[in-house]
Amino acid sequence: MSITFGTSGWRAIIADEFTLANVRLVTSAIASVLSEEAAGGSVIVGYDTRFLSERFAAECAAELAGLGFEAYWTTRETPTPTISYAIRTKGARGGINFTASHNPPQYNGMKFSTADGAPALPEVTKKIEQRIAEIQSGKIQRPERKSAAEAIAFDPREDYLNDLATKIDFGKIASAKLRLAYDPLWGTGRGYLDEVLRRRGCEVSTVHDYRDVLFGGHSPEPSEKNLSQMRQLVLDQKLALGVSTDGDADRFGFIDRDGSFISANHILALVLDYLCESRPDWSGGVARSVATTHLVDRVAGRHGRQVYETPVGFKFIGELINEDRIILGGEESAGLTVKGHFPEKDGILACLLVIEMVASRGKSLSEMIEELFRKDGALYSERVGIKLTPEVKDRLQKRLSSDPPDSIGGRRVAEVNRMDGVKYIFDDGSWMLLRMSGTEPVVRCYAETNTKKDLEVLLETGSKFVLD
């Protein structure tokens, strides 16, 4: 069995591949790689609300302590962005977070972040994978525990919540006296986002604010279908806004006051526009992944900001944050961070920024989007997953690697971007990205165009292109 790291660490099914034995193996490999650079140092170990997460984290922390590291083990379920904050403030060598983010409840995972608090880059995770394989094959001996030291328990919540006040204008939020709904989806955001809002005078009604290792029987993803209960709460109580975070609180979701779900792509464009207006002293451009809306580009152009396009994976955006080249970095998969924060997506920060924006502008999200469309033109985007048979997958890979066609579905191909997958940009400004999954026989089709009706047509065009 090979253990591989994807865009956000190693994930596997609990009690199948994700076992205590493999957790110890991966921990030893990470410790071995860190020890090549220098001996010892501190490592942060955190966990989410999944089944046995605290047990896995405790075993990992004990392994690290036995191998000579100062292992800090969180005393409660902790959001991924809070782990990132703790790595930086404690000057740690890195952090290991037990989470499978928004994946289904049968999964758990180990996410390794480096000393800057960012998700480990591919060159680091490949080295860890290689070390795991070397230990499994017997090529090298697995490091043995030599120290009797124990992990150090700590809770980074208060320090993290206090740090948010350096990035969010809580005065604006408090003065608006907003009535809000929050759905942490049984995840780590409970006791964080709702608590900091109540401290600032907001009335917050919550749903799913207790631990359920099965997440209600579905993935803890703040998608439209998973936020129906919060939507009803917003409508029934006539609340200003509903906000949500995923299982490890690094992604966001929003229900507007009229009950409509607002896409992550539109949120990114709105927040960029708001930051350019409300933080005029912030210098820098904006980063988005290749799969993210070009509405961000239009907003950036109007404000004279440079756009950086990255492959999919927040680690690439994190590099630009570390270099202080951007004021906002975001992905269509509901990830966001800002200048002065850390190089990791933060759903709690995203929710607070949007709440500040609503408080400051006194408008609903839908009203703001209509205004943005009047300035920059309307754009709608979506993605779908298309399952592939081995034959279709082989045929599609050959087609994607060959010279592009002149047109697809009657749309003339004006440009092809192969940064991550294959992105066909058409002469009318619409585009379609086909990106193969690295873990399952699926191709993801992303599309964007200027009307909802044409978006449906373009997605159908993409499906035909894949399957024909």
pLDDT digits (tens, 9 = 90+) for 296-323: 999 999 999 999 999 998 989 999 999 9
Nearest to 116, CA basis, from 317, 252, 298:
317
Q: What is the mean predicted confidence (pLDDT) over 327-336?
A: 97
385-435: pLDDT as tens digits: 999 999 999 999 999 999 999 999 999 999 999 999 999 999 999 999 999
State the chain's mean pLDDT as an integer.
95
Report how far apart, in Å, the C-alpha atoms of 427 and of each of 148, 217, 407, 422, 448 are: 65, 43, 10, 16, 13
What mean pLDDT comes out for the span 368-383?
Answer: 98
pLDDT tens digits for 119-142? 998 899 999 999 999 999 999 988
pLDDT, tens digit, 9 for 90 and up, residues 145-189: 887 789 999 999 999 999 999 999 999 999 999 999 999 999 999
CATH number of 10-156: 3.40.120.10
Is 380-467 the same fold as 165-376? no
Residue with tokens 């289904």: 104
**From CA 96, how far away is CA 108, in angstroms rounded?**
13
Q: What is the CATH number of domain 380-467?
A: 3.30.310.50
- Average confidence (pLDDT) over 357-371: 98
Q: What is the residue extent of each domain of the chain?
A: 10-156, 165-376, 380-467
Residue type for position 464: K
For a pLDDT cut of 70, what percent of the chain falls above it? 100
The CATH architecture assigned to 165-376 reads: 3-Layer(aba) Sandwich (3.40)
pTM for the full model?
0.95
Both tokens of 175, joined, read 């003065």
Whether pLDDT at 262 is above 90: yes
**pLDDT tier at 102 (50, 70, 90 boundaries)?**
confident
What whole-number distance in Å separates Cα of residue 454 and Cα of residue 449?
A: 7
pLDDT score for 149: 84
Q: Are 79 and 249 in contact (CB under 8 A)?
A: yes
Contact 309, 297 (CB under 8 A): no
Is a pLDDT exceeding 80 seen at residue 8? no
Q: What is the pLDDT of residue 141?
A: 87
Residue 1: pLDDT above 80? no
Confidence band (pLDDT; 50, 70, 90) for 144? confident
pLDDT value at 375 more than 90 = yes
pLDDT of residue 369: 98
Q: State the burial class of residue 360 (Cβ atoms within 10 Å of its Cβ: 0-12, 13-18, 19+).
A: middle
